[in-house]
Amino acid sequence: MGSGKVLKCSFCEEPAITVVRYAKLRLCKKHFTEFVQRRVLKTIDRYGLVDRGWRVLVAVSGGKDSATLLHTLSTLSKELGFEVTALHIDLGIGKYSEKAKEAAEKLCKALEVPLVLLSLRELLSVELPELVAKSKRPACSVCGLVKRYLINTAALELGVQAVALGHHLDDLLPYIVKNFVLQNLGGISKLGPKTETEEVFVGRIRPLYEISESEAALYAHIQGLPVVEEVCPYAVRGESLEEEIRSFLNTVEAKRPGFKVAFARAVAKNIEFYREEAEESINKCEYCEMPTASNICAFCKLTARVLGKPMGSDVRSKVRRILAEVKTL
Ligand code: SF4
Ligand code: ZN
Ligand code: ZN
Per-residue pLDDT reduced to its tens digit, 269-279: 999 888 888 87
pTM of the shown model: 0.95
Q: How confident is the model at residue 142 (pLDDT cuts 50, 70, 90)?
A: very high
| pLDDT number for residue 1 | 46
* Range with the poorest average pLDDT among 145-154, 258-267, 271-280: 271-280
143 lines ligand 1 (CB under 6 A): yes
- Residue 317 within any structural domain of the chain: no
CA gap 87, 151 in Å, rounded: 8
CA 126 to chain centre: 24
| pLDDT number for residue 328 | 53
- CB within 8 Å of 131: residues ≥ 6 apart: 120, 124, 142, 146, 302, 306
- Ligand with the closest atom to the CA of 127: 1
Per-residue pLDDT reduced to its tens digit, 166-206: 999 999 999 999 999 999 999 999 999 999 888 788 999 99
Q: Name the residue of 66, 97, 230, 234 to mutate for ligand 1: max ligand atoms within 8 A of Cβ.
A: 234
- Residue 218 within any structural domain of the chain: yes
For the segment 94-106, the average pLDDT, to the nearest whole number, is 97
Q: How many domains does the chain have?
A: 1
Q: Which atom of ligand 1 is nearest to the CA of 61?
A: 6
Which structural domain, as residue segments, surrounds residue 72?
50-277
| pLDDT number for residue 226 | 97
Q: How confident is the model at residue 281 (pLDDT cuts 50, 70, 90)?
A: confident
The CATH number given to whatever domain includes residue 89 is 3.40.50.620
Q: How confident is the model at residue 238 (pLDDT cuts 50, 70, 90)?
A: low
CA gap 107, 228 in Å, rounded: 11
pLDDT > 80? residue 156: yes
CA 315 to chain centre: 22
- Residue 215 within any structural domain of the chain: yes
140 lines ligand 1 (CB under 6 A): yes
- Residue 138 within any structural domain of the chain: yes
- Residue 184 within any structural domain of the chain: yes
- Residue 149 within any structural domain of the chain: yes
How many percent of the chain have pLDDT more than 70? 97
Query: Considering only CA atoms, which residue is closest to atom 7 of ligand 1?
Result: 140
| pLDDT number for residue 237 | 65
Per-residue pLDDT reduced to its tens digit, 18-46: 999 999 999 999 999 999 999 999 999 99
State which amino acid sits at residue 73.
L
| pLDDT number for residue 60 | 98
Per-residue pLDDT reduced to its tens digit, 286-324: 999 998 988 999 999 999 999 999 999 999 999 999 998
For the segment 109-128, the average pLDDT, to the nearest whole number, is 96
| CB neighbourhood size of 320 (10 A) | 15
Q: How confident is the model at residue 327 (pLDDT cuts 50, 70, 90)?
A: low
| CB neighbourhood size of 75 (10 A) | 18
236 lines ligand 1 (CB under 6 A): no
Tell me the pairing of strands 18-20 and 25-27.
antiparallel
- Residue 302 within any structural domain of the chain: no
| pLDDT number for residue 2 | 47
State which amino acid sits at residue 200.
V
Nearest to 29 by CA among 21, 12, 17: 17
| CB neighbourhood size of 238 (10 A) | 7
| pLDDT number for residue 4 | 60
| pLDDT number for residue 255 | 97
Q: Which atom of ligand 1 is nearest to the CA of 139?
A: 7
Per-residue pLDDT reduced to its tens digit, 43-85: 999 999 999 999 999 999 999 999 999 999 999 999 999 999 9
Residue 198 per-residue DSSP state = B
For the segment 207-216, the average pLDDT, to the nearest whole number, is 98
- Residue 185 within any structural domain of the chain: yes
Computed over every residue of the chain, the mean pLDDT equals 94
| pLDDT number for residue 157 | 92
